[in-house]
Amino acid sequence: MTKISDLRAMTPDQLQEELLKLKKEQFNLRFQAATGQMEKTHRVAEVRKTIARIATLQRQQRPA
């Protein structure tokens, strides 16, 4: 699980890169769940929450 302090230390480009990586992982996890190959079921919730954290940070960093 990624800590919020680690995410806050990242640059906007790093956050975007991490977001893309997590979205790919989320897709793969959904695919595994659909085919019955999923081993770490808790990872789905972790990835979803981390994606939300990154999206929140990106909104906060956006100029008003």
Q: What is the pTM of this model?
A: 0.89
**Could you state, in order of their start, the residue ranges of all structural domains in the chain?**
4-61
Residues 6+ positions from 7 with CB-CB distance below 8 Å: 15, 18, 50, 53, 54, 57
Q: What is the DSSP letter of 7?
A: H
Domain 4-61 sits in CATH 3.40.50.2300: no
SS3 content of the chain, % helix, strand, coil (to 5): 75, 0, 25
pLDDT in tens, the chain (64 residues): 678 899 999 999 999 999 999 999 999 999 999 999 999 899 999 999 999 999 999 999 988 7
